[in-house]
Structure 1
Amino acid sequence: MTSTVARPDVAPHLGLGRKGERLAAQHLQKLGFVVLSKNWRCREGEIDIVATNGKTLVVCEVKTRAGEQFGEPAEAVTEEKIARIRRITGQWLRAFSVRWCTVRFDVIAVLARPGGEFELRHFPGAF
């Protein structure tokens, strides 16, 4: 894969995060999911990706890192973050008038390797 150059007005780590989110969305689409929302925001925070396969609504947290010096990317999904994502999911469901559906919470970890390669690990039902 080739990497893209971040806009000059965007901090490098934000550009990397956006690249990770794009790769994660593409991955979900290859698995047959339709992406409904990306970077959906409300007062409490943001959901990276909301997707569905027609049976299950998947709320996906994407963590992208340039290296492993601070641990695996997925390790950054703390109990506090999980609780916040669950609350925000309730807001998303209300905002889109979704009354009932099966919801699954996934984590997609993206690790940027030297040379422009990206390693993606998908953890379905991570929390």
Structure 2
Amino acid sequence: MSKARKGLGRYGEDLAARRLAAAGMEILERNWRCGRTGEIDIVARDGDTLVLCEVKTRSGGRYQHPMAAVTPEKARRLLGLAERWIQAHGGAPPGGVRIDLVGVLLPRRGAPAVEHARGVV
């Protein structure tokens, strides 16, 4: 992955984390890796619910909307990562687990648009 693309992703994750925190969620962890299986961008707590959040950032003119980026294959991988995170951290909380998606659009001009979809998987 190029340095510019990594920076873009990091910026999108920063915006997403701020949005989640502003919505009252507690950010527990960022960029949790599980070997070669993958990464959870943001792990948060929403009341007594554990939230595993996928962040997709897009910039420029023509691009696929970030909310369209979670394919069935990606959803399966996210569910597997959720199970591994729960196993590694002592089990699921009383409120269960939810997987959310935050899409960040960075237009050529103007402020970024940040969309938060709850329970996408």
Question: Do they superpose with TM above 0.5?
Answer: yes
Amino acid in the other structure paired with 1:107: L
- Structure 1 residue ranges without an equivalent (≥5): 1-9
2:54 alignment partner in structure 1: 61
2:25 pairs with 1:27:
no
Q: Structure 2: where are the runs of 5+ without partners?
A: none
Partner Cα separation in structure 2 for residue 78 and residue 28 of structure 1: 23
Question: C-alpha separation between the residues in 2 aligned to 1:29 and 1:12?
Answer: 26
Which portions of structure 1, spanning 4 or more consecutive aligned residues, are displaced by more than 4 angstroms? none
Residue-pair matches, total: 118
Do residues 91 (structure 1) and 77 (structure 2) align?
A: no
Q: What is the CA–CA distance in structure 2 between the aligned matches of 1:47 and 1:111, rounded to whole Å?
A: 20
Name the SS for the 1:14 alignment partner.
helix
Q: Report the TM-score, using the length of structure 1 for normalisation.
A: 0.86
Aligned-pair RMSD on alpha carbons? 1.5
Whichever residue aligns with residue 70 of structure 1, its letter is: Y
- Structure 2 CA distance for aligned equivalents of residues 122 and 88 of structure 1: 20
Q: TM-score, normalised by structure 2?
A: 0.90
The separation in 2 between residues aligned to 1:48 and 1:117, in whole angstroms, is 22
Percent of pairs identical after alignment? 43
Residue 68 of structure 1 and its aligned partner are, at CA, apart by 5.3
Deviations 1:70-102 (A, max 9, x none): 320111111111100110111111111124441
What do the CA deviations read for 1:35-55 (whole angstroms, capped 9, x no partner)?
Answer: 111000012110011100232
